[in-house]
Structure 1
Amino acid sequence: MSLYLCVDCGGSKTSAVVCDATGEIKGRALGGPSNFAYLGIDAFTEAVKVAVSDALKTCTTPHSIGPVSLPTSQPLFAAAWLGVSGVDSQGAIDTITPVISRLLGIPKGRNLIVCNDTHLLAAPLQMHDDVSCAITCIGGTGGIVVSFTQEADGNLKEMGRVGGWGWILGDEGGGYHVGREAVRQIILRADVASVEGQQPAEAAKDTLVGRVMKQFGLKSDVYELLSAVHIPDPVPSLTTADLNVPPYLYVPREKRLSQLAPLVFQSAFEDGDPLALKVLEISSGALVEQICILLRPRGVKASEGVICFGGSLVGVEKYRNMILDQLAQKGHDFKRVEFVDDAAAVGARGLARAHAV
């Protein structure tokens, strides 16, 4: 039986999925972190080895595979596809590929694909005959958009990418951006009120300010948020024994802001808070602007493509709809819309479909 392997190598976990030629999932397993940029080649390879070995142990084929010792000189898979976080250059791919080739016993070439993990989200392009291109839109802790077409051999070809620069430089539309924009809008409204002498009428429906202030253990002065946000990251000597230290001081500055995103979503979509809705309109609009760069005249066409969403924030349908509505207002209606909540499984099925062409 021909088996196909897809491994989603992320910063928090490694997901390995094995399917057959029909796309039926035969085995899967989760492992530890495998971000290549953070771990380096040795720790990365070990994480992949463990996840793939465990996935093979679970395989339900006509004949159980059982424990397999990796590396192997006998190919166990017809093809393998690894989407690796922290891989942003050809140099990184060239470093990883021969190591994975030896690990899995698959020669370098069409049957062994190593790329950035965003590529896995574009697998629906390989599964629909009525689209010729794809845009992946990641909105989770961070954010990035990437465009693809499909080559004659069924593999994906990256056409362009925008964003994914990390929290200091960007991550538009992701959790950090949403949290930062929430604090910005809260402070801006206070600035305007200080000039006009009163709060706007919509402030009466506000629940976001209270939630954000409570998150930081603050009372009534929203300007205290400035100190809470800007205080440096925790020092190693700080422990939970320091009971007089505000809780947010145990949290890195990036997380102080990204952890506000669920509060914004709650206020916006459960309470209808106008301020929270404004924050999400701004954040989703930033993602839309990046997508539109990929849709410029020399880019891909929405009317011929599929947009593939991935990540916890765009996993919320109302937030996705904000993005799609703004794209439609700009004249960009995608032929298909997909939310990919299991990139390794979708990638495995896409790989099998591409090799059936």
Structure 2
Amino acid sequence: MKNADLDNLLDQCQRSVKLALLVAETGLSVEQCRCDLESANGVLAKALKKSTTQTENDYINGRQFALCIDGGGSKCAAVIIDQTGTIIGRGRSGPCNLTDGRSMQEVISNLVTATQSAMDECKKDQTVAACSPGVASLQGCFKTAWIGLAGMDRSGYREELLPLLREKFGLHSPGSLRLSNDVDLLAALMSQRPETRSVIILIAGTGSVAMRYHRDSSGGATRVARSGGWGHILGDEGGGYAIGQQGIKLTLACLEERRLGICEERLGEFEDAILRQLGCLVPDPNCIDLVSQLLAQNQRPSTKSQIAAAAEAVLSVAKHSEKAMMILHDQVRHLVDHTLGRLLHPQCAGFVSDEETGLVLSGGIFSHPTYRELFLERLSVKRVSFAYVERVEDAALTGAISLMSKPPGLSP
């Protein structure tokens, strides 16, 4: 390097010799090297090792890889794709909702497990043999990653979790790791719908939440309003937990009335479905202690997971059970009239008319045809007509494709 070039580089690095050496050695940008040096606590050798690893692994046998993880209240789903959008690995693990009392380490463990499970599939692709599973292999395997977690909007979570994930996945350069709410993954669909300037994402999974996004100047999505998502203790009507809870309460009432001699009728199809889902169906219903089973301490699956799973029983008998249909009508009504309805009020922050707004539905509850039919019927009753209504089953894939479509150096 000529003296003039060296002087120029030192000027760019504000006369920091360590930073200048890191830039000269790796060929990375000053900003990126400054970030690497700071994350290495100013130790040049450590920063050099991380930067070199990142650079070498941006391409593995001529291919680049992006990781996206959708961490919700019932499961964690990971997808790995290459630069062509080809899926090369999928993985799953346990729930990742930070508001459910899980420690940061438990959440990170589930994220790593889902990623390693996806990487197990990568072994079938000989061109990615360099990314064999194992904790160490997470370092530098991905050009970029997007992790969307339920509960991430709560105060302090992002600041605590982000540096831990950067270290775990070896993603230290600016823009290489995005950490957001899981709903934000679906907002990436806006790039595929240029005809609308606003979209509402409505989730009915374990819980429920609605968020409105506007298209920003760069073509991305900016969240402007949120409704619901209060958690299973305070609300989340329309989601699996609320549906399952109502089903269990009706079943408990039926069992109690039998024990008290108020009712002598046998259990119906609805109650049988609930008890079967919970593993409590026995010949003598009077022997069932459902409350004790659900509230037992330190059990797996958790009480929340068991209650949410009971929604499957409610949905499975909906066509034949008045009780099930009553629950679903009530939950759909609340989801449309309140959770979604608040974002459609003309005085709501970021309001755009429904005719100019797209609606994206996601979450396991929306995968049931009966629930979707009731939902669309309720929209019709309320005379709400969106520009389009689209259901998305794979938020992780949506996020991964969005990552690979970003120009180099642009924060995902």
User: C-alpha displacement at 1:284, in angstroms?
Assistant: 0.4
**Residues 1:6 and 2:68 aligned together:** yes
- Choose the corresponding residue for 1:158, options 223, 230, 235: 223
Provide closer, same or farther for how the CA distance between residues 355 and 288 of structure 1 changes in structure 2, counting only shifts above 3 A: farther
Corresponding residue for 2:385?
Answer: 333
Distance 1:255 1:79 in 2: 32
Q: Are the equivalent residues in 2 in contact too, given 1:56–1:65 (CA < 8 A)?
A: no
**Structure 2 CA distance for partners of 1:170 and 1:353, relative to 1, 3 Å:** same
- Measured in 2, the distance between the counterparts of 1:166 and 1:116 equals 14
Q: Deviations over 1:151-172 (max 9, x none)?
A: 3445432222222223321120
* CA contact 1:26–1:58 (8 Å) conserved in 2: yes
Aligned to 1:106: 171
- Shift in Å, 1:18: 1.6
Q: Hey, what's the Cα distance between the residues in 1 that align with 2:95 and 2:245?
A: 27
Give yes or no for contact 1:72–1:105 (8 Å, CA) kept in 2: no
Which of 250, 271, 294 matches 2:343?
294
What do residues 195-254 of structure 1 show as CA deviations (whole Å, max 9, x unaligned)?
A: xxxxxxxxxxx95467568887699x9xx9xx977779545599xxxxxxxxxxx99876
Q: Does 1:266 align with 2:316?
A: yes
TM-score by length of 1: 0.73
CA distance 1:18–1:304, shift in 2 (3 Å): farther
User: Does residue 92 in structure 1 map to residue 186 in structure 2?
Assistant: no
Higher relative contact order (Cα pairs below 8 Å, separated by 6+ residues): 1
Q: Is the 8 A contact 1:234 1:251 kept in 2?
A: no
1:245 aligns to what?
none
Counterpart of 2:315 in structure 1: which amino acid?
F
**1:303 aligned residue:** 355
In the TM superposition, what are the counterparts of 1:131-146 in structure 2 within 5 Å?
Answer: 131-146=196-211
Equivalent position of 2:84 in the other structure: 22
Shift of 1:300: 4.1
1:173 CA displacement: 0.7
Q: Which amino acid aligns with 1:311?
A: G
Going from structure 1 to structure 2, the CA distance change for 1:26 and 1:233 (only over 3 Å counts) comes to closer
Shift of 1:293: 0.9
Shift of 1:72: 7.9
Gaps of 5+ in 1: 189-205, 239-249
Q: Deviations over 1:98-139 (max 9, x none)?
A: 222233333464442101222223332233333333222222
Instruction: State whether structure 2 residue 330 is matched by structure 1 residue 277.
Output: no
TM-score (norm: length of structure 2):
0.64
Q: Which residue of 2 is the match for residue 202 of structure 1?
A: none
When Rg is computed on C-alpha atoms for both structures, the one with the higher figure is: 2
Residue in 2 aligned with 1:128?
Answer: 193
Task: Give the match for residue 32 of structure 2.
Answer: none
CA distance in 1, matches of 2:172, 2:304: 41
| Structure 2 counterpart of 1:49, one-letter code | V
In the superposition, relative to structure 1, how do residues 77 and 182 fare at CA in structure 2: closer, same or farther (>3 Å)?
Answer: closer
State the identity as a percent: 27
Q: Is the 8 A contact 2:147 2:180 kept in 1?
A: yes
Contact 2:73 2:207 in 1 (8 A): no
| Separation in structure 2 between the aligned mates of residue 234 and residue 129 of structure 1, nearest angstrom | 49
Give the equivalent residue in structure 2 for 1:116: 181
The alignment status of 1:345 with 2:397, answered yes or no, reads: yes
**Residues 1:45 and 1:174: Cα distance change in structure 2 (over 3 Å):** closer
Q: CA RMSD in A?
A: 4.1
Once the two structures are TM-superposed, the CA of residue 97 in structure 1 deviates from its matched residue by 1.6
2:190/2:220 contact within 8 Å kept: no
Aligned length, in residue pairs: 324
* 1:141 to 1:46, Cα distance in 2 relative to 1, 3 A: closer
Pick closer, same or farther for the CA change 1:235–1:61 going to 2, 3 Å. Answer: closer
- Separation in 1, partners of 2:230, 2:152: 13
Equivalent position amino acid for 1:268 in 2? A
Aligned residue in 1 for 2:368: 316
